[in-house]
Amino acid sequence: MEIKDLVLPAINQFASDYISGRLKTDNFFHYDINDEKVYEKRYSDLMNRHFYRKDLADHIRQYMDPFGINDAVRINIEALTSEGSAVVIGGQQAGLLSGPLYTIHKALSVIKLAEQQEKALNKKVIPVFWIAGEDHDIQEVNHVYTMQNGKPDKVTFPMYITKKPMVSDVKLDYAAAVAWVEKVIESYGETNYTNELLQNVKKLVEESSSFSDFFARLMHAWFKGSGLLLIDAADPGLRKLETEYFTSMIKNAEFITDAVLSQQNLVEEAGYKKAIDIHSNAANLFYYDSKNQERTLLELDGKGNFIADKTASLSFTQTDMLQMAETRPESLSNNVVTRPIMQESLFPVLAFIAGPGEAAYWAELKQAFELFDMKMPPIVPRLNLTIVERSIETDLNELAIPLETALTGKTNDALDQYLKSIEDETLVNLHQKLIRNLEESHGDFAEQALKIDGSLRPLLDKNREFIQKQLDFIYEKTDEMNRRKHHIVINKYERITASLHPLNSPQERIWNPFYYLNKYGPDFITDLAELEYEFNNKHKVIFL
């Protein structure tokens, strides 16, 4: 594997300005990631705060124990109890088969930044991956894409859910999961690694009780050598550690919303769009009915009550909510506003690894953090990676397509130019001439026919349309035969697009790591983790 850095545009203006340093950082964040001393400053600030380290470490140990804790993970769990340690943290939803490649990229980012800052600070820095198991958007995690007939095809896990359960409460049926996994992996074609890969995944499915459990076991299998710690936001054991913080969020619910709205005004005044959809009555907490598996976003009714909607079909007083936080905190969960605050309350976070969209919404939380006398951690853009297989590299070279062109989705433009270059100009001109002649001759014929009987107009229009369709049909067939003569070159353009920018999206948002595990072997992700990455805000191209 070889890495090459490229400068590519970010997916949104805010992220682009943030990465490039054009943003006035003080308005949106507490730390400037372009400051050479940023991690030293953050570490110093962290050491002035108190965390329930032992309780947190004990919970992570208990959570990860069923996965089989190795020495690297055990060392990091024990290190978390030390007052001098810090963590680099990032998270993602629990996608089946780990979801798109960017989940792996985020975990790699967490691990690599932790490694680098441990050396730079000469302090223990622990990588932590936060699994968003409390999320209820099943449609985000229940599918992968495979290649069918040269194009990406969405393969959805067969299930029907009418309620809004947390992903961690969605049970994984063994027979259905195995059949689905087999369908996905077999679509990649049989290789020397396929049988072993299938057996390993089936074993993990057998051991897994839910979507999140399956996800966690996969992540542990891939990254345990790096000592990555895992935590599920929906775990009832974690909720018990969050009672104090839920209590504070409940008491300050109205002020949290006001703080976010105030910060959003600054964002808009600076010329950026809001990232968080929030209203003045937002409570920024969910109520979770575990019996009925329904997760409901709460609002404030202006009278001190927390309600499910304007009809108050579900209503709690502040006293009810505080009692809930104390006696059954598993009935509460965070939204996009309060999750970062909860994360910061629990962990001594040296840095948070963010995707482009995350960086934008964290910028709207600055004043909310200040309500709790906390600073946001340095928000570090995750590594953006694209994997280039040798065959794709060969196609790029043969077609003289710059890598930047392929990675920004402009290969289709190059293909259009090529198709235009192979068109038979004589055929094109003759087709256009036939159409013009048809319009003229048929118009004359129709004019004469209508003198005989004006009711013939619908029939004449239909006749002209039919003749034109036949002319278009034979032209398209002839053009198709011409393209077939050049199919080898055309297929190369299409292969490049499908691999590097499928469905007009970056590779990392569509393709799943199991394609590469099946083709290149079980050590593929481990090999990625052994590469050296520089956090220089440049796109990483990995040549296989």
CB-based contacts of 419-427 (< 8 A; 24+ apart in sequence)? 419/483, 419/490, 422/482, 422/483, 422/486, 423/479, 423/482, 424/478, 424/479, 424/482, 427/475, 427/478, 427/479, 427/482
pLDDT of res. 312? 67
Dihedrals φ, ψ of 128, to 5°? Answer: -130, 135
Name the CA dihedral angle for 38, 378, 384, 501, rounded to a multiple of 10 degrees: -140
What is the rounded distance in angstroms from the CA atom of residue 366 to the CA atom of residue 372?
11
Q: Are 284 and 249 in contact (CB under 8 A)?
A: yes
Q: Which of 365, 343, 364, 360 is nearest to 352 (CA)?
A: 343
Residue 265 has pLDDT above 90, yes or no: yes
Judge whether residue 332 has pLDDT over 90: yes
C-alpha to C-alpha distances, 410 to 386, 402, 405, nearest whole angstrom: 15, 10, 5
User: Would you mind telling me the total number of residues written for the chain in this entry?
Assistant: 544
Stated pTM of the model: 0.89
Q: How far apart are the first and last CA of the chain?
A: 5
Residues of the chain above pLDDT 70, percent: 99
How far is residue 463's CA from residue 461's CA, in Å, rounded to a whole number? 5
9, pLDDT greater than 80: no
Sign of CA dihedral 146, 147, 148, 151: positive
The fraction of the chain above a pLDDT of 90, given in percent, is 71
Which H or E run includes 332? Answer: strand 332-334
Task: Give pLDDT tens digits for 221-242.
Answer: 999 999 999 999 999 999 999 9
Does the CA dihedral 472-474-480-483 come out positive or negative? negative
According to the model, what pLDDT value does residue 423 have?
Answer: 77
CATH numbers and ranges of domains, the chain = 28-278+335-383 (3.40.50.620)
Going by C-alpha positions, the residue among 310, 292, 290, 291 that lies closest to residue 300 is: 310
**Residue among 97, 132, 133 nearest 221 (CA):** 97
pLDDT score for 121:
97
Q: Which residues of 184-202 are buried (b: 16+ CB within 10 A; e: fewer)?
A: bbebbeeeebbeebbeebe
> Does the pLDDT at position 80 exceed 70?
yes
What pLDDT is recorded for position 311? 64
Residue with tokens 């003569």: 485
Q: Which residues of 477-486 are buried (b: 16+ CB within 10 A; e: fewer)?
A: eebeeeeeee
* Residue 310 confidence (pLDDT): 63
φ, ψ of residue 379 in degrees (nearest 5):
-95, 105
Place of tokens 């993602």: 92
- The identity of residue 327, as a single letter, is T
* Helix/strand/coil for 95: coil
The 8-class DSSP code of residue 242 comes to T
